[in-house]
Amino acid sequence: MRAIRLVAAVILFTSLAGSGTAHAVGGWGTVETAGSGKDTISLVNVGGTRYEMGFWYGKLLAGQVAGCREKLMAAAKAAGMEFGPAVDAMWNAAYFDTKAWGEELQGVADGCAADGHPEVTFRAMQELLMVGDISEYNCSLFAAWGKATTDGSVYQLRNLDWTMDAGIQEYPVVAVYHPKDGRVHAVVGFAAMLGAAGGGMNDRGLAVSEIMGHFGDRETLNGIPFPVLLRDVLYHEKTLDGGLARMRQAVRTNQYHFALADPNAAGAKGRLIFSSHLRFDVFSDVRIVGHPVETPDPFHERLEDVVYWRKHNGSGNQVEHDALAARYGKIDAERAIEVAQACGVEGTLLSIVYHNSGKEFWVAFAEGLEPAHKQGYVHFVLK
């Protein structure tokens, strides 16, 4: 990895655009380029309080944050998406810790302003946090362990299938947070999107995956945005049970499939979750019977020590099952990437393969209009 800028643990006093006051900024941040050629990814490490981590993220990635925001806003406007109502509905202390998240978002805005991008305001960061809950994801996930893998360790997939037209693949970021009040954790995604909409893992090997759901349940924006919920799991939880409890107790919004896997869990290491505002159904490595709305039930044959799902309605399940079954008992990083590639589609914007047990992961982003699974996978180790 090639370091392109380093900020030591220093105290700066800055008068930021529009604030009218001076802020003491501690903490620290570094940014490097991981990968090579067209497969380069910005790797940013930030540490400190929520505000300090936000500030260094914004200052080190200001140009990328501004560029990614501009492209997302243009795509949203073209699609007729309205962020105002989403912010008004979801930014509520009854649903999540808006104080802590507000400090981080303000930090990003201030860091961007300090580096010449005052257009990245606090309100803009609020809007970007809501993108996941007002858009559609049609993706793939699995978690495999025990008899399914070469050495019994845990591997997990998160393929994000979304629009290529927005162009946010031009701003790939792996952000590693070293908070004073939580767990070291990595968030994989795009500049300016601070929640775990793409994916992520923490220092316990706990990792998250997501797909848009399809259960016929009532949808609402009165709840915690799912990228916030998933990052809160990584930030605060160290066990599978803790992560499941946090997700179950949350005031949730729309219909999602999630996967959560923990290499240190007793028994089954991974779970597949059907989640909505009202529903929280948890499955381990069993056959799912009786889909809420799909008739006939989507294909879903049991694979011992594996959970999997593909597409919002399970219509791609057999493709994923067959790819996993063909490598059953031999799944390692290379074969997990092969499964990710088998599940890829023309709209695969991001592909992540986690080795939860090794606290490492491989990441591929789309290049132009060429999907992620056809690119090189860049290796990261969470330390």
Per-residue pLDDT in tens (0 to 9) along the chain, 383 residues = 433 333 333 333 333 333 333 345 899 999 999 999 999 999 999 999 999 999 999 999 999 999 999 999 888 888 777 888 899 999 999 999 999 999 999 999 999 999 999 999 999 999 999 988 888 678 999 999 999 999 999 999 999 999 999 999 999 999 999 999 999 999 999 999 999 999 999 999 999 999 999 999 999 999 999 999 999 999 999 999 999 999 999 999 999 999 999 999 999 999 999 999 999 999 999 988 889 999 999 999 999 999 999 999 999 999 999 999 999 999 999 999 999 999 999 999 999 999 999 999 999 999 999 999 999 999 999 98
Find the distance separating the first CA and the last CA of the chain, reported in whole Å.
15
**Distance (Å, rounded) from C-alpha 205 to C-alpha 165?**
33
State residue 137's pLDDT score.
Answer: 73
Scanning the structure block, which residue is given the tokens 């509905």? 89
Do 46 and 96 lie in one domain? The reply is: yes
Q: Please give the Cα distance from 340 to 331 (Å, whole number).
A: 12
331 with 279, same domain? yes
What tokens were used for 71? 């492209």
Domain identity same for 228 and 354: yes
For residue 175, tell me if it sits in a domain.
Answer: no
Sign of dihedral through CA atoms 67, 73, 76, 81? positive
Domain boundary among 83, 112, 132: 132
Query: Which of 72, 106, 132 is the C-terminal boundary of a domain?
Result: 132
For residue 367, the one-letter residue type is E
Domain at 262, CATH number: 3.60.60.10
Q: Is 218 domain-assigned?
A: yes
Residue 78 pLDDT: 82
CA distances (Å), 364 to each of 263, 341, 347, in order?
23, 10, 13
Pairing of strands 172-179, 41-48: parallel
Q: What is the C-alpha separation between 262 and 70, in angstroms, rounded?
A: 36
**Does residue 194 form part of some domain?**
no
> Please, what is the angle between helix 50-60 and helix 62-79, to 10°?
90
156 and 209 share one domain = yes
Residues 165 and 115 placed together within one structural domain of the fold: no
Provide the 3-class DSSP secondary structure of residue 247: helix
Shared-domain flag, residues 108 and 142: no
Q: What is the pLDDT of residue 81?
A: 79
For tokens 């079954």, the residue is 325
| Residues 44 and 161 occupy one common structural domain | no
Measure the CA–CA gap between 111 and 123, rounded to whole angstroms: 14
Number of separate domains in the chain: 2
251 in the same domain as 111: no
Tokens of 139: 């993706």
pTM, two decimals, is 0.94
User: Does residue 89 share a domain with residue 235?
Assistant: no
Domain range for 49 is: 2-132
Q: Are residues 298 and 157 in the same domain?
A: yes
How many whole angstroms separate alpha carbon 173 and alpha carbon 170? 10
The per-residue pLDDT for 17 is 33
What is the reported pLDDT for 7? 37
Residues 76/41/373/319 CA torsion (nearest 10 deg): -80
317-326 and 333-343 are packed helices; what angle lies between their axes, rounded to 10 degrees? 160
Q: Are residues 118 and 257 in the same domain?
A: no
Q: Is the distance from CB of 335 to CB of 180 less than 8 angstroms?
A: no
- Residue 24's pLDDT is 52
Judged by DSSP in three states, 164 sits in: coil
